[in-house]
Amino acid sequence: MSLNLSQPKRKNAISLTPLIDVVFILLLFFMLTSSFVPWRIIDTPLSVATDKPKDIAEQENLILTLKSNNNQVWFEGGAIYFADQARFEQLVMDHNNGVFMIKAEVGVTLQTLLHLADQLKLHGAKSVSIANAFAMTAESK
C-alpha cells in the first residue's frame, strides 16, 4: 500500500478575506477616532484677590475697549479697525513698554477678543492682557 504522504502544495494556505475584514475594521477604528487638529492653549492666569492691590503703576496700562463684533476697537476715544495695519503698528511702537489691556462690553465674542490679541501680538506687542475681559465687572454681577 502506498501512502501519499506528500500533500499537494497549495499556493494560498490562508484565505485573505478574513484578514481584510480585520484590517478594514482596524482602519475604520483609526479613521474615526483619530484627530489631526492639535489644540493650542492660551494661559489666562487668574489673580487671587488680595487685600493690597499690587502696585502696577510703574508700567503704563493701555486700555483697549471692544464694544461690538464689528472688527474695531476703541482706544482713547477713537476707533481703530483691525484691518488698519499701519495704525496698529504705530500704536504698538508708541506704547510697547506698557501692557495692552483688553476690555470687552456686552455681546463681544471670544473670537473677537482673540482676534484683537492676535493683531497686537503680530505687530510685536510684548505684553497683552486678556484676563481683564474675563473679570467680573460691576454691571455683570
Partner 1 sequence: MKIGQKFTTKNVNNDDNMVPLINVVFLMLVFFMVAGQIRKADPIPVVPPYSVNEARAATDPNVEIVVGVDSTLYIDDKFIEINRVQAYLEQRFLEDSNQENFWVQIKADGGIPLEKLRPIFNQVRLAGLTKVSLATQLERGNP
Q: Determine how many CB atoms are found less than 10 A away from the CB of residue 73.
A: 26
**3-state SS, residue 123:** coil
Q: Does 5 bind partner 1 (CB under 8 A)?
A: no
The pairing of beta strand 99-104 with beta strand 128-129? parallel
Q: Does 6 bind partner 1 (CB under 8 A)?
A: no
CB of 15 to partner 1, least distance (A): 6
Candidates 30-38, 52-60, 71-79, 85-93; binding stretch for partner 1 (CB under 8 A): 30-38
Q: Does 33 bind partner 1 (CB under 8 A)?
A: yes
Q: Binding string to partner 1 for residues 47 to 86, with x set by CB under 8 A, is what?
A: xxx-------------------------------------
In the block, cell 500500500 appears at: 1
Q: Cα(18)–Cα(12) distance, rounded to whole angstroms?
A: 13
Number of residues engaging partner 1 in binding (CB under 8 A): 50
Give the up-direction half-sphere exposure of residue 55: CA atoms within 13 A in the CB hemisphere.
Answer: 1
Q: Cα(115)–Cα(102) distance, rounded to whole angstroms?
A: 11
Q: Which residues bind partner 1 (CB under 8 A)?
A: 11-12, 15-17, 19-20, 23-24, 26-27, 30-31, 33-49, 104, 106-111, 113-115, 117-118, 121-122, 133-137, 140
